[in-house]
Homo-oligomer: A and B are copies of this chain.
């Protein structure tokens, strides 16, 4: 025993050196407790985990879209359930997150007919009358095709990269979208929404604190959160608010140069187009300039294009893939080193099927061995949900003229577009006439990101409460009206400026009027 105790003592203390203190501090048992307890029958409890025992990268990660304000909203929602009259409002308006169907956007009927049949294939063998009353012929046809693609049941694991036949449909869609620039099924990776794709890309390409990833500011906080989880460095480039949140390629190149000077390797560049939270859409020329920098420094471009269907009248979306192909044709060999990952999702657009977790990623220009790494990583989580994969097929290949579903499907899509257009304008007009709010006209996506010109008294009181001034505004808005938004501090903004992000998804216009009333009262209270 003695010799054992001595061994342990010496080895542990030598071991200590190699161990980072916090990891040991809280629960590493001491030598004496070991030797005491080793053969005792009664158990002396060791302490439980504390935050000291948690991976620092996870602790660092923040995700404001479901952060403090939305969590407060959940508390208030519960309070309303228990005591409906205890608050100055009767319900929570969730304008913090792009979740259309939570806000009563009706799913597209064609999608749901097909998914309903995929979940219950026996129906396809039922007596035609009953089936035909409930499902349209093209829905039945599509369900049969998809069932054979997935091998008979959506309950079986698919290939980790996604069902072959669905990847072919996606490739056809991209080829059409990009005026014949060919897309290949082998380059398509079906994913559980775009978030999963971002997580794959960053965990593969982030090697630690010396890896830098260029992200727009303001940004969708998934990017800073994923970078924190991967212990890598965000390299912010600011969007020019005064020029309708446009991108400045010269600033991007400067950020690249500064990073290299600091010994940080700029590895990826994130582009969100249409922009979240800004609602801006990139011009063709801006995209060309971004590729110029990417080609020059060998930086992977991550194109978050999940809002490509959310484009308002008068604006035009250019896919990065298409612009890249044009550059490659015009300047032979000069852009052939570009590596582009383009992301799409079934959660946005007119689909709005957030809970179904469908999406895809197209990898362009990556070497074979890198794509094999993507495949291996995907295989560790087995496969994306198969009904979500099917939904991607439906999104990229909707009913065509002559199909039984066509007319209704067109009508439903138009109604959703019009409703979004109308709500966006209504909210934009309201902001435009309010004191202390400056808002850019949105071109796409689902959000407005107005600038708050907050009185000094607000900033003072916020500091006193150890809050960001825009968080203070959002909290007041929530607690007085039930309207839940996200402060700009969650997305990033030029220091000293304040913003908030709101969706324009909530139905009706009443909530906008409530907001207007609140805002006036707020400024009357705090005006300098």
User: A residues within 8 Å of B by Cβ?
Assistant: 7-8, 11-12, 14-20, 22-24, 27-29, 34, 37-38, 42-51, 53-56, 58-59, 61, 63, 66, 74, 97, 99-102, 104, 107, 109, 112-113, 115-123, 126-127, 130-131, 133-134, 150-160, 192-193, 195-196, 199, 203-208, 210-211, 222, 225-226, 229-230, 253, 257, 260-265, 267, 292, 295-298, 300, 331, 333-337, 339, 352-357, 365-367, 369-370, 373, 376-377, 379-388
Contacts and interface: CB of A to CB of B under 8 A. Distances in A.
Given A55-B206, A101-B153, A369-B50, A334 B43 contact: yes
Contacts of A337: 45-48
Given A51-B370, A382-B193, A156 B120 contact: no
Within the oligomer, what is the number of copies of this chain? 2
Contact of A42 (B100, B192, B334, B353): B334
A382 B230 CA distance: 18
Contacts of A160: 66
B158 A19 contact: no
A352 B155 contact: yes
Contact of A63 (B116, B199, B380, B384): B380
B11 A261 contact: yes
Given A54-B373, A356-B154, A263 B19 contact: yes
A15 B263 contact: yes
Nearest to A44: B296
Contacts of A101: 152-153, 155-156
Given A19-B264, A20-B210, A63-B379, A46 B296 contact: yes
Contacts of A130: 130, 133-134
A263 to B, nearest CB: 2
B207 A49 contact: no
14 contacts: A15-B264, A19-B263, A37-B296, A43-B334, A46-B337, A55-B205, A66-B160, A66-B382, A97-B157, A112-B122, A192-B381, A355-B383, A355-B385, A356-B385
A58 B369 CA distance: 13
Contacts of A210: 18-20, 23
A153 B107 contact: yes
Contact of A157 (B11, B102, B196, B388): B102
A365 B45 CA distance: 13
Most B Cβ at <10 Å: residue of A27, A107, A357: A357
Given A19-B265, A55-B206, A205-B54, A28 B260 contact: yes
B257 A355 contact: no
Contact of A50 (B12, B47, B356, B367): B367
